[in-house]
């Protein structure tokens, strides 16, 4: 491609709202252009990178038996209503057409695939299968930000595995995980595979592939001693602290002006780990199971956690069986019989389970590690000291709902864990029968009996992957594309205007392309400084400069984007040289 005819221009300045380096550089280097918040056009250079990623993803999916397909982005509302996600998926974009017909824009494709399974999978002979597609997805992301990292319209590789049993799915799953490692390695992206919360996708096991990054929006936990790694929403940790040998007698004490846990601990003279924090939520179950369990609809949830820990709301929601959580209002807290700021489980009418009347008290397991706690007295200005569970109060449910953090104890080896920020690069879910059961997608087994199809779903965002690559591969002058995904392999330029220089550059352009290289030819009538700056900004692996000085010495100047050294290589040897030294 001749740069003089290329669409769009590089920019000297990044847009003011671009915080992430990938966002700044992809815009400056003319790879993407914003249309609206979270909506981007891929310019010709960006589209070439996208096609490279596409190819890597497709090759690795094909290698484990996948078949590429093409699925619709406009979905009749009925398929989303059938799985219940029409109402429960907040980010689903809905379209109302003439005559009241309703559609969803594809947020994901489990519904479409399950519909296909209903039509195409008849017997055990039709299994296993693995299909995938690379397509647009739409999500009504309230906080679109970070360039290609959080989008409203994006591009995903989505694969779906179909198996006859849980064992068959378990046997296939590691192949997909390995394919993911291959994909990320080919793109130059070092990932950590972690156990993740299954969230809105449903199902059982899931792995998240993350790239540690200081500006990542995810938190994950790794052990400093063993290979334990987990998403913070799924991370377990050992609650340190022991029950005191002697339980002191419960006593009510005045604690004036103690509004926070730190105030109370300081006033009484105990560490925060010897206090109990109360947090209140209003919970609305959304799944059929959790609705059945609760019977009476929404419910007030009184959560207890040791004072040195915090509640993780995803863990809490999972412990309750899923649904919507919001902080309870002061009014709701008072109706339950508790006093905001001084709330206590002591003296409350605690429900035995979700079916019973009374206050539902959910305690983190940390209440079992420690004792002689300081806890509120449901009276303004008063606390209890030396409160002990279960001697002094009851709970409805004990569960792991505390947030894992740096310094906590590893659940596997007892070493110290570390919380780090990361960018999510991909996800593998064992969906099991989550969708096939809802839509009754069955096959006939060898005995002619209907059995549910076991599904898995596996996603990688291509635009996000492009941003991650730029986050990892750049310097102060611009992007430094790995060879495998670079938009072109060679940035060719001529320096100066002499006929011999231009004729030689034209000849190199033709010959490199004939030799199979993808060449971006900076044939503009511009200064060497401008051309070198753009070459660095766009970040193509090889820079080849044709100038009078080099030609006098019998060659052209060759430089790798990620190295300082320059070489003079005779024109006749150029293609061979580049091939030998490419990765
Ligand atoms: Zn460990």
Q: Do 469 and 189 meet the contact criterion of CB atoms below 8 Å apart? A: yes
What radius of gyration, in Å, describes the C-alpha atoms of the chain?
30
* Residue 202's pLDDT band (cuts 50, 70, 90): very low
Q: Which residue reads 């590789």 in tokens?
A: 157
- Prior bond to 248 cis, omega within 30? no
Indicate whether 305 belongs to any domain: yes
Q: Do 559 and 566 meet the contact criterion of CB atoms below 8 Å apart? A: yes
Question: How many angstroms from the chain centroid is the CA of residue 371?
Answer: 38
Same domain, 455 and 370: no
Buried b (16+ CB within 10 A) or exposed e, 347-377: ebebbeebeeeebbbbbbbbbbebbbbbbbb
Q: Do 299 and 355 meet the contact criterion of CB atoms below 8 Å apart? A: no
Quote the ligand 1 centre to 77 CA distance (angstroms).
46
445 compared with 230, residue with greater pLDDT: 445
Domain count, the chain: 3
Quote the ligand 1 centre to 409 CA distance (angstroms).
8
* Residue 321's pLDDT band (cuts 50, 70, 90): confident
Domain's final residue, options 339, 366, 399:
399
Q: Do 153 and 38 meet the contact criterion of CB atoms below 8 Å apart? A: yes
Indicate whether 83 belongs to any domain: no
Beta carbons within 10 angstroms of residue 36's beta carbon: 9
**Which range of residues forms the domain containing residue 137?**
3-73+107-234+422-470
Same domain, 328 and 432: no
Model pTM score: 0.83
Same domain, 113 and 219: yes
* Residue 291's pLDDT band (cuts 50, 70, 90): low
- Prior bond to 390 cis, omega within 30? yes
* Calpha distance 338→350 (Å, rounded): 12
Quote the ligand 1 centre to 237 CA distance (angstroms).
10
Quote the ligand 1 centre to 193 CA distance (angstroms).
15
Alpha helices for 187-281 (secondary structure H): 261-268
Indicate whether 244 belongs to any domain: no
Quote the ligand 1 centre to 142 CA distance (angstroms).
36
Burial of 182 (0-12, 13-18, 19+ CB in 10 A): middle
Quote the ligand 1 centre to 133 CA distance (angstroms).
37
Q: Do 315 and 321 meet the contact criterion of CB atoms below 8 Å apart? A: no
Question: Is the confidence at residue 286, as pLDDT, over 80?
Answer: no
Query: What is the SS3 string spanning 318-385?
Result: HHHCCCEEEECCHHHHHHCCCCCCCCCCCCCCECCCCCCCCEEEEEEHHHHCCCCEEEECCCCCEEEE
At 70, list the tokens: 């093409």
Task: Kindly state the DSSP code that residue 364 receives in the 8-state scheme.
Answer: E
Quote the ligand 1 centre to 482 CA distance (angstroms).
34
Indicate whether 521 belongs to any domain: yes
Question: Is the confidence at residue 511, as pLDDT, over 50?
Answer: yes
Quote the ligand 1 centre to 314 CA distance (angstroms).
23
Same domain, 438 and 557: no
Quote the ligand 1 centre to 413 CA distance (angstroms).
4
Domain CATH number, residue 31: 3.30.930.10
* Residue 294's pLDDT band (cuts 50, 70, 90): low
Quote the ligand 1 centre to 194 CA distance (angstroms).
13
Question: Is the confidence at residue 201, as pLDDT, over 80?
Answer: no
* Calpha distance 228→174 (Å, rounded): 18
Quote the ligand 1 centre to 411 CA distance (angstroms).
7
Indicate whether 296 belongs to any domain: yes
E strand map for 433-528: 442-444, 450-452, 454-461, 474-475, 478-479, 490-495, 519-522
* Residue 295's pLDDT band (cuts 50, 70, 90): low
Indicate whether 411 belongs to any domain: no
Quote the ligand 1 centre to 536 CA distance (angstroms).
43
Alpha helices for 105-224 (secondary structure H): 110-120, 166-186
Quote the ligand 1 centre to 207 CA distance (angstroms).
18
* Calpha distance 189→197 (Å, rounded): 23
* Residue 206's pLDDT band (cuts 50, 70, 90): confident
Mean pLDDT score of the chain: 93
Domain CATH number, residue 268: 3.90.960.10
Indicate whether 414 belongs to any domain: no
Q: Do 148 and 156 meet the contact criterion of CB atoms below 8 Å apart? A: no
Beta 454-461 vs 417-432: how paired, if at all?
Answer: antiparallel
Same domain, 268 and 214: no
Q: Read off the pLDDT of residues 68-115 as tens digits, 9 standing for 90 and up.
A: 999 999 999 999 999 989 998 989 999 999 999 999 999 999 999 999
Question: Is the confidence at residue 296, as pLDDT, over 70?
Answer: no
* Residue 470's pLDDT band (cuts 50, 70, 90): very high
* Calpha distance 324→306 (Å, rounded): 24
Quote the ligand 1 centre to 228 CA distance (angstroms).
5
Q: Which residues pair with 442 in a beta bridge?
A: 452
Quote the ligand 1 centre to 472 CA distance (angstroms).
27
Coil, strand or helix: which one is 279?
Answer: strand
Indicate whether 245 belongs to any domain: no
Q: Do 436 and 84 meet the contact criterion of CB atoms below 8 Å apart? A: no
Domain CATH number, residue 507: 3.40.50.800
Quote the ligand 1 centre to 172 CA distance (angstroms).
27
Domain's final residue, options 399, 430, 448:
399
* Residue 292's pLDDT band (cuts 50, 70, 90): low
Question: Is the confidence at residue 200, as pLDDT, over 50?
Answer: no
* Residue 293's pLDDT band (cuts 50, 70, 90): low
Q: Do 303 and 360 meet the contact criterion of CB atoms below 8 Å apart? A: no
Same domain, 227 and 258: no
Average pLDDT on 470-477 reads: 97
* Calpha distance 475→405 (Å, rounded): 32
Same domain, 268 and 389: yes
Same domain, 220 and 358: no
Quote the ligand 1 centre to 239 CA distance (angstroms).
14
Same domain, 452 and 494: no
Quote the ligand 1 centre to 180 CA distance (angstroms).
24
User: Of the ranges 215-224, 469-478, 531-540, which one carries the lowest mean pLDDT score?
Assistant: 215-224
Same domain, 286 and 219: no
Q: Do 521 and 3 meet the contact criterion of CB atoms below 8 Å apart? A: yes
Question: Is the confidence at residue 298, as pLDDT, over 90?
Answer: no
Question: Is the confidence at residue 16, as pLDDT, over 80?
Answer: yes
Residue 78 backbone phi and psi in degrees, to 5? -55, -35
Same domain, 390 and 517: no
Same domain, 458 and 526: no
At 11, list the tokens: 């920019």
User: Can you state the percent helix, strand and coil of the chain, rounding each to 5?
Assistant: 30, 30, 40
């Amino acid at each position: 491609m001749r740069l003089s005819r290329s669409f769009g221009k590089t920019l000297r300045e990044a847009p003011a709202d671009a915080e992430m380096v990938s966002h700044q550089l992809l815009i400056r280097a003319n790879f993407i252009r914003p249309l609206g918040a979270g909506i981007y056009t891929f310019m010709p250079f960006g589209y070439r990178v996208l096609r490279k990623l596409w190819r890597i993803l497709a090759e690795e999916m094909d290698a484990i038996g996948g078949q590429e397909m093409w699925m619709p982005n406009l979905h009749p509302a009925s398929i989303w209503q059938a799985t219940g996600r029409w109402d429960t998926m907040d980010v689903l974009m809905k379209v109302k057409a003439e005559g009241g017909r309703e559609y969803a824009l594809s947020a994901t494709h489990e519904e479409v695939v399950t519909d296909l399974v209903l039509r195409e999978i008849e017997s055990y002979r039709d299994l296993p299968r693995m299909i995938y597609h690379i397509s647009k997805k739409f999500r009504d992301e309230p906080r679109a930000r970070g360039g290609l990292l959080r989008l409203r319209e994006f591009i995903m590789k989505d694969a779906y595995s179909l198996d006859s049993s849980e064992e068959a799915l378990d046997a296939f799953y590691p192949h997909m995980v390995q394919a993911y490692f291959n994909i990320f390695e080919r793109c130059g992206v070092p990932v950590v595979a972690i156990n993740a919360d299954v969230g809105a996708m449903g199902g059982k096991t899931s792995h998240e592939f993350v790239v540690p990054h200081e500006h990542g929006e995810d938190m994950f936990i790794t052990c400093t001693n063993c290979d334990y790694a987990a998403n913070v929403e799924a991370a377990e940790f050992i609650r340190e602290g022991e029950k005191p040998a002697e339980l002191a007698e419960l006593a009510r004490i005045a604690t004036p002006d103690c509004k926070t846990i730190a105030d109370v601990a300081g006033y009484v003279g105990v560490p925060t780990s010897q206090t109990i924090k109360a947090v209140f939520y209003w919970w609305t179950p959304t799944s059929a199971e959790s609705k059945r369990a609760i019977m009476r609809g929404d419910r007030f949830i009184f959560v207890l956690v040791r004072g040195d820990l915090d509640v993780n709301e995803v863990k809490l929601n999972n412990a309750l069986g899923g649904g919507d959580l919001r902080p309870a209002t002061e009014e709701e807290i008072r109706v339950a019989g508790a006093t905001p700021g001084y709330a206590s489980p002591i003296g409350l009418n605690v429900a035995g389970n979700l079916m019973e009347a009374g206050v539902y008290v959910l305690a983190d397991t940390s209440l079992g590690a420690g004792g002689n706690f300081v806890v509120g007295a449901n009276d303004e200005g008063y606390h209890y000291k030396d409160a002990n569970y279960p001697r002094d109060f009851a709970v409805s449910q004990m569960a792991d709902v505390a947030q894992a953090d740096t310094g906590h104890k590893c659940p596997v080896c007892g070493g110290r864990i570390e919380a780090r920020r990361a960018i999510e690069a991909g996800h593998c879910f064992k969906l099991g029968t989550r969708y096939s059961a809802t839509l009754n997608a069955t096959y006939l087994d060898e005995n002619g009996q209907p059995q549910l199809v076991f599904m898995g779903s596996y996603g990688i965002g291509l635009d996000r992957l492009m941003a991650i690559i730029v986050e990892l591969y750049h310097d102060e002058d611009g992007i430094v594309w790995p060879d495998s995904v670079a938009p072109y392999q060679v940035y060719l330029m001529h320096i100066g205007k002499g006929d011999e220089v231009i004729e030689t550059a034209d000849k190199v352009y033709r010959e490199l392309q004939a030799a199979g290289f993808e060449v971006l030819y900076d044939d503009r009538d511009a200064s060497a400084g401008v051309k070198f700056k753009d070459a660095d900004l766009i970040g193509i692996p090889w820079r080849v400069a044709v100038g009078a000085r080099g030609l006098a010495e019998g060659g052209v100047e060759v430089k790798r984007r990620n190295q300082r050294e320059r070489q003079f290589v005779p024109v006749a040897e150029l293609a061979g040289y580049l091939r030998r030294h490419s990765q």
